[in-house]
Amino acid sequence: MDLRIGDIVVNGFIVEIYQNLEKDGERFPEGHWMGDRIYIYDGLSDGTEQEFQKVLEYIFNEGFSQDRRTEYTVVRAEDFD
């Protein structure tokens, strides 16, 4: 079961954090970092990769993410319908 563990705002970006996601038809054991995913919403579509890396570092340092290698997706304004 997909578990949404939180929404936070970091450096002006809205961030959603999920655990226990299914990837490529496979579900990792509960609590395994490879089942996690981070969504960073860039509503102005002006964020840089350096800014996203700072957001990810903050999320890891504050304990919201289990591993620095956790997959992430940047959702830009043009992705919204």
41: containing domain: 3-79
How high is the mean pLDDT of the chain? 90
The model's pTM = 0.88
CA distance 80 to 18: 20
Are the beta carbons of 68 and 36 closer than 8 angstroms?
A: no
Number of domains in the chain: 1
Per-position DSSP letters for 9-57, written without gaps between them: EETTEEEEEEES-EETTEEPPTT-GGG-EEEEEETTS---HHHHHHHHH
Residue 41 confidence (pLDDT) above 80? yes
Percent of the chain at pLDDT > 70 equals 98
pLDDT-derived band at 81, boundaries 50, 70, 90: low
Summarize the confidence of residues 45-58 as an average pLDDT. 96
